[in-house]
C-alpha cells in the first residue's frame, strides 16, 4: 500500500484527534487514508493513517502496523 490509499480497519485502533489532545478509538470497519508509510515502501513496517470522525466533524491520526492490515 502507498500514501493516499484507503482501507478499512480490521481491529480497533487508538487515534489522536488532530489539533487536540483527545484520544479516540477507531472501531473495526473505519475507513482510513494512508498519509505516511514507515520503512521501505516495498516492505513497510507501519502506516500513519487519517480518519474522519463523522460524529464530531474532526479528523484523527493513528499508527497501524503493516501486519495488522488484511
Q: Is the pLDDT of residue 70 over 80?
A: no
Domain count across the chain: 1
Query: What average pLDDT does this structure show over 11-30?
Result: 96
21-46, pLDDT tens digit by residue?
A: 899 999 999 999 999 999 998 999 99
In a domain, 1, yes or no: no
DSSP symbols for 1-70: --TT-EEE-SS-EEEEETTS--EEEEPTT-EEEEEEEES-TTS-SEEEEEEEETTTTEEEEEEEEGGG--
Domain that holds residue 56: 6-68
Average pLDDT over residues 41-52: 96
Q: What is the pTM of this model?
A: 0.91
Instruction: Write down the mean pLDDT value for the chain.
Output: 95
Tell me the CATH number at 10: 2.30.30
At 69 the pLDDT is: 85
Amino acid at each position: 500500500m502507498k500514501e493516499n490509499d484507503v482501507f478499512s480497519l480490521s481491529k480497533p485502533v487508538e487515534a489522536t484527534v488532530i489539533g487536540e489532545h483527545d484520544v479516540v478509538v477507531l472501531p473495526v470497519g473505519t475507513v482510513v487514508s494512508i498519509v505516511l508509510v514507515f520503512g521501505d515502501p516495498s516492505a513497510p513496517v507501519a502506516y500513519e493513517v487519517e480518519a474522519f470522525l463523522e460524529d464530531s466533524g474532526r479528523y484523527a491520526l493513528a499508527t497501524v502496523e503493516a501486519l495488522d492490515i488484511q
